[in-house]
Structure 1
Amino acid sequence: MLVPPVYRRWVTCPEPRPQAKLRLFCFHFAGGDASVFRLWARQLPAFMEVCPIELPGRATRRGEPPITRFPELLDKLASMMLPFVKQMPFAFFGHSFGGVTAFELARWLRRSGGPLPVHLFLSASPAMHIRQGPPRPLSHLSDKEFLKEVASRFGTPLEVLYSEDFRLGVLPALRTDALVGESYQYAPEPPLDVPISSFGAWQDTEVSHEEANSWRLQTTGRFQLRMFQGSHLFLSTERPRIYKAMLEDLAPQFQ
């Protein structure tokens, strides 16, 4: 994929594959960045071109002002991705709040008359329509209390969160994403005519089995729930099994 410089900041492509039949856009979890999917570009089959999304205020875009409100982020992200979703069939993969972003981006494309993804992969993401209200806000907390709450919700060891590398490299982006999440509001719309695969983890205390399973109500197409071992951030430990599940679920469209 030839990526014009203006887009290289938002839509990355670690390994361009001109002969690909499917473009997989990947959305990272809160506090993450595009490097979360670095190995995916090499390890997934040649028919897939992996395009991780890089948001402002982190990693290679650390010097840019972050966007802290979800509606603004969604509109900007959609406008920057629109040229790429028109070029070939595409799918979305999002982990944690990245899954919510992927889902809302698909609905944005439908409202705008744009092309829809051939598949949505929503990993460690709660179906927001069944949540009674937003999670407790985090953004107002001191760094110490903020990190304690993150450890409690997502199972990340405190020694990792308190490390200097984390505080300098990840904490600013994580605080930005907390603001983004707090500004998100689910609005009812008809189900998408897009197959959905929901990936959950048995030890995830942040997203219940019911919340992962309830994505089935957001599609008129095929739905598949798959449960993995691990806690909320099972993305790296279960990567080979995630690949296998994705390829199985894409098989009806890419035999």
Structure 2
Amino acid sequence: MRVPPVYRRWVTCPVPRPQASLRLFCFHFAGGDASIFRLWTTQLPASVEVCPIELPGRATRRAEPPITQFPELLEKLAGMMLPFVKQLPFALFGHSFGGITAFELARWLRRNGGPMPTRLFLSACPALHLRQAPPSPITHLPDTEFLEEVATRFGTPREVLTSDDVRDTVLPALRADLSVGESYRYQPEPPLDVPISSFGALQDPEVSQQEAEAWQHQTTRDFRLRMFPGNHFFLSAERIRLHKAIVEDLQLPAKKGG
């Protein structure tokens, strides 16, 4: 990718595929990082170049100050992604917090005359027009209370949240991302002229099937809903079925051997 190195801090490409016909940009959930899509880079067909997004304040960018306001995040991210989305056809995949980012990036590109994605994949993310009131703020709480609220809201196992590793490495990024979420305000715009696939989980305490299905009102094109087993974090457990759905919806040849 012939772009300055600073851009590649944001748009990672662990397995470059120069012959790919499409790029899939992947946006992580709150507190996550680009590594959650590591297996995607080799398990999707060779025609897809997977480009996970790495936000500041975590993993390889842990030394950088995190962004805590959604308008700032969107403007910086969009500017860093423009060189990439102009090179190849592309699709956007976002899980939970990443779904908000992917959706608003598509609308930013439309407002600014940029190229549009071939498809938008929104996973564990409620249709945002249904939740115009901001979520109850929790990022001001002390660590113990904050993590308890996270466990209740998203169904995250409490033993995971109370581990030393989470407190040392994930907590700062989680606070930053949820601050971004608390600052987000949905603004009505016309539906996108982009097909949308919505993925939900049957035992998700945060996003109901009705909220996942309501994304159909944000597109003038094809809409598909799939519900998977599991809770809000079905991303890893259902990876194979997610990949199958992505390949089907992008109308790509399946990866040989699986």
TM-score normalised by the shorter chain: which range applies? Answer: over 0.9
Structure 2 residue 142 is matched with structure 1 residue 137: no
Structure 2 residue 169 is matched with structure 1 residue 174: no
1:254 Cα offset (Å): 7.2
- 2:219 corresponds in structure 1 to 219
Structure 2 residue 191 is matched with structure 1 residue 194: no
- 1:35 corresponds in structure 2 to 35
- 1:72 corresponds in structure 2 to 72
Structure 2 Cα separation of the partners of residues 120 and 190 of structure 1: 16
1:134 Cα offset (Å): 1.6
Amino acid at match of 1:180: V
Structure 1 Cα separation of the partners of residues 153 and 142 of structure 2: 16
- 1:183 corresponds in structure 2 to 183
User: What's the secondary structure of 1:51's corresponding residue?
Assistant: strand
Moved over 2 A (4+): 1-4
Quote the sequence identity (%). Answer: 74
Structure 2 Cα separation of the partners of residues 206 and 29 of structure 1: 13
- Size of the aligned set, in residue pairs, is 254
RMSD: 1.2
User: What's the secondary structure of 1:106's corresponding residue?
Assistant: helix
Contact kept? 2:132, 2:185, Cα under 8 Å: no
What are structure 1's unaligned runs of at least 5 residues?
none
Within-5 A mapping of 1:1-255: 1-2=1-2, 4-251=4-251
TM-score where L is the length of structure 2: 0.96
1:4 Cα offset (Å): 3.1
User: What's the secondary structure of 1:197's corresponding residue?
Assistant: strand
Structure 2 Cα separation of the partners of residues 170 and 235 of structure 1: 18
Structure 1 Cα separation of the partners of residues 137 and 95 of structure 2: 20
What are structure 2's unaligned runs of at least 5 residues?
none
TM-score where L is the length of structure 1: 0.97
1:3 Cα offset (Å): 5.0
Structure 2 Cα separation of the partners of residues 3 and 169 of structure 1: 29
Amino acid at match of 2:8: R
